Amino acid sequence: MSLIVLCAGGHARVVIEALLSSGIRPAGIADRDVARIGSAIGGVKVTGSDDDVMKMAVDEVELANGLGNRASRKDSGLSDRRALFDRFDVLGFKFPVIAHASAVIASDAQLGDGAQVMAGAVIQPAARIGRNVLVNTRAVVEHDCIVGDHAHVAPGAVLCGGVSIGESVHVGAGAVVLVGVKVGAGAVVAAGAVVTKDVAAGGFAGNE
């Protein structure tokens, strides 16, 4: 079965490297901008558009979400990444778990469809990682954490034991969420923040 990376952006480059580290070479990249067809990222060519992928048989191709996000104080920026995943998921396309060869994943950790664990990341025992979640470079998800669907734990962020992260939450680069803290759906944790108490859904934690 071949694998196609969706979206020819910066995050796609990281996804491709993670795949290559595990001996998987994508068959191509699809992007909604047809002008990018024929270009290449990480040695993998943009071979078609999203519409071209939708014409493929769902039992002959797997997909990887190559769309990243850019959070702001008021918005996790994850809606487009989620929408791209949902667009193909509802049609029956499969998104395998992608883990860089250097990532450390506990034997009993649970990872949902399309979860991505990048270089140097660590996921500890009894952690539960939702669908389409991105655990980015050198991030740490400690024991018994729950990370909801479509969330992003950015590079170098640390979730201490028993943390609960809601759907579509952005935990910024280098942030630390302390033991047992709950972060509600759609919330944003700023880069470098130290979160000591619960964060409401849609809320913000960090410097004003």
Q: Show which residues are catalytic.
A: 143
CA-angle at 200, arms to 133 and 74, nearest 5°: 70
Distance between CA 15 and CA 118 in Å, rounded? 8
Which residue type, as a one-letter code, is found at position 23? G
Render the burial of 166-196: b for 16+ CB within 10 Å, e for the rest: bbbbbbbbbbbbeeebbbbbbbbbbbebebe
Three state DSSP letters for 2-31: EEEEECCCHHHHHHHHHHHHCCCCCCEEEC
Tokens standing for residue 98: 């992608």
Distance between CA 62 and CA 121 in Å, rounded? 23
Tokens 């395998």 -> residue? 96
